[in-house]
């Protein structure tokens, strides 16, 4: 998967730590998702979607990347 998390975060001038606190996850998680190293679970994807008030498909798209969780 690819995602627009970094762009959406930058638009709001949030640091990775700011976003992590809003999502109640670690900063490492935010970094791993942004860099495509980790694809979030569906519950976390819904939390991200709710936080940015956007549908999931406006944030994530199913193009392949090299996420750690997939191999």
Question: Cβ closer to another protein: 15 or 61?
Answer: 15
End-to-end CA distance of the chain, in Å?
13
Show the binding pattern over residues 21-40: x = contacts another protein (CB under 8 A), - = does not.
Answer: ---xxxxxx-xxx-x-xx-x
Site for another protein in 5-24 (CB under 8 A): 17, 24
**Beta strands 60-61; 2-3: pairing state:** antiparallel
Question: Least distance (Å) from another protein to the CB of residue 9?
Answer: 16
Cα-only R_g, the chain: 11
Helix (H) or strand (E) holding 5: helix 5-11
Which residues of this chain interact with another protein, rule CB under 8 A?
17, 24-29, 31-33, 35, 37-38, 40-41, 44, 68-69
């Amino acid at each position: 998967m690819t995602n627009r998390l970094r762009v959406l975060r930058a638009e709001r001038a949030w640091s990775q730590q700011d976003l992590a606190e809003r999502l109640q996850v670690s900063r490492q998680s935010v970094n791993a998702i942004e860099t495509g190293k980790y694809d979030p679970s569906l519950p976390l994807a819904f939390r991200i979607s709710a936080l940015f008030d956007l549908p999931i498909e406006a944030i994530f798209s199913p193009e392949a990347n090299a996420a750690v969780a997939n191999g």
